[in-house]
Structure 1
Amino acid sequence: MLKIEDINVYYGNIQALKGVSLSINEGEIVTLIGANGAGKSTMLKTVSGLLKPKQGKILYEGQSIGGKAAQSIVKMGISHVPEGRRVFANMSVEENLQLGAYLRKDKAGIKQDMEKVYELFPRLLERLKQQSGTLSGGEQQMLAMGRALMAKPRLLLLDEPSMGLAPLLVKQIFHIIEEINKTGTTILLVEQNANLALSIADRAYVVETGRIVLSGKSEELTTSEEIKKAYLGGH
């Protein structure tokens, strides 16, 4: 579904991604793990069109999307939930969700998807008219995910969904990520909690200083001594 070939991405003169290649098959959950600043968020921003690769190819369902405008990429079926949630604070929960569907014209489909979002996140239904800025961190994360789903993505990019949340909420969010995947949405997940990410992902890539240094099935990486030492708090 997604194929990244040898991309190089820069912030000014600083090279953030160095010849990165990876692939995601339809229906998978693939996770990127690695230290802060390794280039994981940069990878998501490059796929969603917020950053342009200097060289290399990004193919989505066989079409080249490297360097396309972010809005065209959303139209093609890729939604990005950025790190730090980024909800529109002075708009209501409902307005935020409606904005997620701004490129769609199918009124009946939008209504149906709104109901699906409320099923996944009953808390949002309770807070419908509330200003988003007054929600708790966990509720804002739910809203950011719900808003992304309103674009009806086939590929969902999730950046640090557990960041700053209480452990109980993190569990809940991850359960919902699995539910979203079961409905047929492919997921590329960036997550600092490597144990949790590997527990729900099919495959994983380990990113270090802008390069992929290791990849494999999640269960293989979970038992790898090298990964345990570096990322899973094991010895």
Structure 2
Amino acid sequence: MLKVEGINVYYGNIQALKGVSLEVNKGEIVTLIGANGAGKSTLLKTISGLLKPKQGGILFENQGIGGKAAQGIVKMGISQVPEGRRVFANMSVEENLELGAFLRKDKAGIKEDFNKVYEIFPRLKERLKQQAGTLSGGEQQMLAMGRALMARPKLLLLDEPSMGLAPLLVKTIFRIITEINAAGTTILLVEQNAHMALSIANRAYVIETGRVVLSGSAQELHASEQVKMAYLGGH
């Protein structure tokens, strides 16, 4: 579904991604693990059109999207849940969700997706008219995910969904990610919590200083000594 081929991405003169290649197949959960500043978020931003690769290509369903405008990429079926949630604080929960569907014209489908989001996140339904800025961190994460789903994406990019959440909520968010995947959405997940990410993913890539240094099935990486030492606290 997604093919990233040897992309180089720069912030000014600093090279953030160095010849990164990866693939995501339809129906998979693929996770990117790596330390802070390794280039994981840069990669998601490049896929979603917020950054442009200097070299290399990105194909989504066999169409080149490297350098395409972000809005066009959303239209093609890629939605991103940004790091730090980024909800529209002064707007209600409902208005935030409506914004997720702003490129769509199919009223019946939008209504159907509202109901789906409320099924997945019953807590959002209880807080429809509440300002998004007054929600807890976990609720804001649910809203950011719900908003992305309102675009009816084929591929969902999740950037650090567990960041700053209490352990119990982290479990909830990961359970919901597997449910969204089981319902037919392919997922590319960037996550600091390597243990949780590998427990739900099909495959994984390890990124260090802008390069992919390891890749394989999630099980293989979970068992790898290198990954254990670096990302799983040695066990």
| TM-score normalised by length of structure 2 | 0.99
- Name the counterpart of 1:98: 98
Between the aligned partners of 2:234 and 2:124, the Cα distance in structure 1 is: 37
Aligned residue in 1 for 2:63: 63
Aligned to 1:112: 112
Deviation (angstroms), 1:145: 0.1
- 1:141 corresponds in structure 2 to 141
- SS of 1:215's partner is strand
User: What is the aligned-residue identity percentage?
Assistant: 83
Quote the residue 1:131 is aligned against. 131
1:192 equivalent to 2:192? Answer: yes
Is there any run of 5+ residues in structure 2 with no aligned partner, and where? none
- Which amino acid letter does the alignment assign opposite residue 185 of structure 2? T
**1:86 Cα deviation after fit:** 0.2
5+ residue gaps, structure 1? none
Partners of 1:223 and 1:23 in 2: CA distance: 21
The 2-side partners of 1:222 and 1:141 are apart by 26
Q: Which residue of 1 aligns with 2:77?
A: 77
**Local SS of the residue matching 1:189:** strand
Question: Which residue does the alignment assign to 1:168?
Answer: 168
C-alpha separation in 2, matches of 1:81 and 1:12 = 25
Runs of 4+ in 1 over 3 A off after TM superposition: none
C-alpha distance in 2 between matches for 1:223 and 1:21? 23
- What is the identity, as a one-letter code, of the residue corresponding to 2:100? G
Q: CA deviation at 1:234?
A: 1.6
How many residue pairs are counted as aligned between the two chains?
Answer: 235
Q: Secondary structure at the match of 1:58?
A: strand
Residue deviations 1:16-58, cap 9 Å, x none? Answer: 0000000010000000000000000000000000000001000
1:14 corresponds in structure 2 to 14
- Quote the offset at 1:77 in angstroms: 0.2
TM-score normalised by the chain length of structure 1: 0.99
The equivalent of 2:150 in structure 1 is 150
